[in-house]
Amino acid sequence: MTNVMTVPYLDLRPQIRSLRPEIDAAIAQALDNCSFCLGPDVVKFEQDFARFCQAEHAIGFNSGTSALHVAMLLLNVGRGDEVITTPFTFVATSWAISYVGAKPVFVDIEDATFNLDPARIERAISPRTKAILPVHLYGHPCDLEPMLELGKRYGLKLVEDAAQAHGATYQGRGVGTFGTLGAFSFYPAKNMGACGEAGALVTNDPDLAARARTLREHGSKVRYYHDEIGFNYRMEGIQGAVLGVKLKYLAAWTARRRQIAERYHELLADTPLQLPREAGYAQSAWHLYVVRHARRNELKEYLEKQAIGSAIHYPLPLHLQKCYASLGYQQGDFPIAEKAASECLCLPIYPELTNEQVLHVASKVKSFFDGS
Ligand SMILES: *Cc1c(COP(=O)(O)O)cnc(C)c1O
């Protein structure tokens, strides 16, 4: 019997294995210090991550979702307000808007990048619009310049959901600092993952940074004195220690992701698949490599039979989710997002994927279309 090559959709084990001595030492030190909630490792990571993003400030959180929630609070978005965002994203993007009692106003995406289409935003602006919340989906930066332009013209703030885009660049500069605030996630499956839950906000505004620190810690600057209603959204000390180790490797991991994407481009060029392409202004962090085809479900099943993992991010756009039924959107409201949801398929892409595995995935995709 021949050996069957398996390619998991995502395998976190090789990265952890290769970093075990360093991560073990960092965790051991955090344990010795008993710095479990925030503490010196989180402070150090915040400084390093701010430098990585070329931001003045980074504030550690216990998840990307809570970082986004606090971003909305920092901009004083609340009941009666509207925030424009994409229907084609992970639901945590719009949770931030819903958590503060505001209304997500969805705007369709660009077919080429899957990102919020700047050309459609203006029509959705109302007197109640407070902010624009675009997502750098799959690690590909969205077209920020026209959004910033609209923001200036209508007095709207821009918050970047950079949860999938660590190290991606727009016009040569890292994402996260174009808007007033940028939110990152360190969920284990993201481009840089904690050993648990974690997230961060970045900003160049010292007042927003200070208030973010207060809000994540029960609304208090001085312990047991609470200036406003706050949250327990602190980053754990152990996660700060782990992320401090991982940050040193992030640039190399991104470079490897870019290499794998290049390889897929070459190998899949003459298949009927629509391949992801970088826009002229963008260097993607390649969080996901997402191809499109009408027979997506069949292809996914076929790959599964060949022991190759793939995934659908995301099968149902947010405007059609049950939780948002009260917003009154209908099937057909955002045809580009709906079509993307029915056609997209994510192939395995992570730094530890071997060249042989990439070749194997591509050859099986080809044989699906060849019928061989
Ligand atoms: C993962 C993710 C989030 C939420 O981050 P968590 O750390 O899982 O809370 C928000 N937005 C997008 C686009 C994401 O992919």
Task: Give the integer Cα–Cα distance in Å for 56 and 204.
Answer: 5
CA 234 to ligand 1 center in whole angstroms: 16
pLDDT at 1: 47
pLDDT of the residue at 124: 98
d(CA 325, CA 42): 39
Please name which of 138, 132, 144 lies closest in space to residue 86, comparing C-alpha atoms: 132
Atom of ligand 1 nearest to the CA of 92: 10
Domain ranges of the chain: 13-108+115-247, 250-371
CATH class of the domain at 250-371:
alpha beta
Q: Which amino acid is at 93?
A: T
Closest alpha carbon to 45 in 245, 304, 291, 269: 245
The Cα–Cα gap between 116 and 112 comes to: 11
Residue ranges lining ligand 1, Cβ < 6 Å: 63-65, 89-90, 92-93, 135, 161, 163-164, 185, 187, 197, 199
Write out the DSSP string of 59-90.
EEES-HHHHHHHHHHHTT--TT-EEEE-SSS-
Decide: 342 and 296 in contact? Cβ < 8 Å: yes
The CATH classification of domain 13-108+115-247, taken from the options 3.90.25.10, 3.10.105.10, 3.40.50.720, 3.40.640.10: 3.40.640.10
- Mutation choice for ligand 1 from 164, 287, 313, CB with most ligand atoms inside 8 A: 164
Q: Please give the structure tokens belonging to residue 330.
A: 């209908």
Which of ligand 1's atoms lies nearest the C-alpha of 68?
Answer: 10
Determine the atom of ligand 1 nearest the C-alpha atom of 190: 1
Q: What is the 161 CA–ligand 1 centroid distance (Å)?
A: 8
Low-confidence ranges of the chain (pLDDT < 50): 1
CA distance 250 to 256: 10
Sign of CA dihedral 275, 276, 277, 283: negative
Q: Cα separations (Å) of 170 from 43, 111, 256, 299? A: 27, 19, 19, 32
The pLDDT assigned to 4 comes to: 79
pLDDT at 234: 98
Do the beta carbons of residue 327 and residue 320 sit within 8 Å?
A: no
